[in-house]
Amino acid sequence: MQFKNTALLLTALTAGSAMARSHIHERRHQHPARAVGDIVTAVIDGKVETWRNTYAGPTAAPEAPAAGGVQNAAVQNDAVAASSSTAVPTTTTATTSPTSTGSAFPTGFGGQTQPTGSGDTYCGNQGIPYGSNIIRIEESDLSKYDYTVSLDGSALTEDYHVIFWNKCDQEDQLTGWYAKSFPVDFTVPAGSIQYVAIDSDSQGGFVGLPASEDIPRNSYGSVLGFWGEFDFANADHDGWSGFDVSAIQAQLASQTNFPGLLIEGNGVISSITTNLGTVTNAYTSDEKAVGGIGGNIPAGRLALNATLGYSG
C-alpha cells in the first residue's frame, strides 16, 4: 500500500493512498510540491499527464494524518527538487494523551467527513474536528476498536517521537505530511508500547524518530524518514485496508540515515531496516510507480504492529 501517485499529484498539486483491493490496490506516495505556474508532468497509472500547477502549498493551519497507501507515479524532476532538507522543529497545539472511551464521543473519535475525489485524489474520513479520526488509546481499549496501530518501542534504548498525519488536509488537498502540527504527536518511551486507534475510511501515515532530534523535512516542508502508511476500510475500494513502509520520500531527499520500521498486520510484513539496509515488501524509489506492495487486506478488523528502530 502506498501514497505514491497522489503524492505526486500533490507535488504535482503535491501522496497518496493505498487502496486495498486484491486486483486494484492503489497506494500513492507523497512528494515535494511544485511552484504555482509550473508545468507539471507525471506518469499516473501508466499514462503521461501534463498540467499547469495552481496549488500554492499548504496553509499554516494545523494538518493531520491520512490513511492507507501513499506512493505511486513520480513527478519528473521531483528528486532534484527534494534534494535538500532541513530539520524543522515540530509545533503542536494540543496534548495527545490516551483517549478514554468515556469521552464526549462514545468511541473517542469525532464525527466523520464526507469523502471527496476518487482514485489518486480520494480523501476519506479526516475527522470532525479535523484530525479526530486518529486518537491515542490504552492497551486495555484495543479490542474496542476495529483499526489500531501498536507502536512497539520494546527494543529502543532512547525515547522516540512519533507523529501521525492524514493524507489530506482540511481543504482536501494532498498535503497532510507537510503539516506543522499533527492529530497525534507523542513520545514512545524506550522499552514501552503505545497505542493508536484510527477510524474507518482513514488514509495517512506516521513516522518515528529519536526524540532528541527535530523532525527532518525536505526543502518544501515534507516530513522525512521511513514512513508507515495506512489505509483503513477504504470506502472507495469496498472496505479493503492496506499498509506499507516506504523510503521514497527520504530517498528523493538523498537521506537514508533513518531508523528502521517494521509493520505487521494479518500475517503480512512490510519493513525497512535502519539506514535502508534491508527492504522487505516495502517501497523504495525504484518502486515508486508500482502498486500493491505491502499489505492488502480484505474488509474487516485490522490491528497493525509497528516495530520502531527496526534493525532486523
Q: What is the pLDDT of residue 107?
A: 76
pLDDT digits (tens, 9 = 90+) for 141-198: 999 999 999 999 999 999 999 999 999 999 999 999 999 999 999 999 999 999 999 9
Q: What is the dihedral of CA 112, 4, 75, 121, to 10 degrees?
A: -30
CA–CA separation, 238 and 214 (whole Å): 39
Give Cβ neighbours of residue 247 (< 8 Å, ≥ 6 apart): 226, 227, 256, 258, 272, 276, 279, 282, 283, 284, 285
According to the model, what pLDDT value does residue 3 have?
52
Residue by residue, what is the 3-state secondary structure of 173-207? CCCHHHCCCCCEEEEECCCCEEEEEECCCEEEEEE
Lowest mean pLDDT among 86-90, 239-243, 275-279: 86-90
Choice between 180 and 1, residue whose per-residue pLDDT is larger = 180
Taking residues 262-273, report their average pLDDT.
Answer: 99
Q: Out of 94-98, 150-154, 273-277, 278-282, which region has the weakest mean confidence (pLDDT)?
A: 94-98
Q: What is the mean pLDDT of residues 17-21?
A: 33
Q: Does pTM surpass 0.85?
A: no
Please state, in angstroms and rounded to a whole number, the distance separating the CA atoms of residues 208 and 227: 8
Q: pLDDT digit string (tens) for 202-211?
A: 999 999 999 9
Under the banding of pLDDT at 50, 70 and 90, the label for residue 11 is very low
105 pLDDT band, cuts 50/70/90, is: very low
Q: How far apart are CA 185 and CA 187, in angstroms?
A: 7
Q: Which of 284, 220, 281, 214 is nearest to 256 (CA)?
A: 284
- 31-51 burial, b at 16+ Cβ within 10 Å, e below that, comes to bbbbeeebebebbbeeeeeee
Compute the average pLDDT of residues 68-94.
37
Residue 238, amino acid: D
* pLDDT computed for residue 292 by the predictor: 94
98 prior amide bond cis, ω within 30? no
* Residue 262 banded pLDDT, cuts 50, 70, 90: very high
**3-state SS assignment for residue 29:** strand
Q: In this structure, are residues 244 and 1 in contact, taking their beta carbons and an 8 Å threshold?
A: yes
Higher pLDDT, 269 or 80: 269
Answer whether residue 287 shows pLDDT above 50. Answer: yes
CA dist., res. 240 & res. 238, Å (int):
6
What pLDDT is attached to residue 23? Answer: 26
pLDDT of residue 2: 54
pLDDT for 98: 53
Instruction: Report the first-to-last Cα separation within the chain, whole angstroms.
Output: 21
Model pLDDT, residue 82? 38
Computed over every residue of the chain, the mean pLDDT equals: 78
Inter-residue contact 197 to 147 (CB < 8 Å): yes
Close Cβ partners of 36 (under 8 Å, ≥ 6 residues apart): 53, 54, 55, 56
Instruction: Name the residue with cell 513520480.
Output: 74
pLDDT band at 99 (very low <50, low <70, confident <90, very high): very low
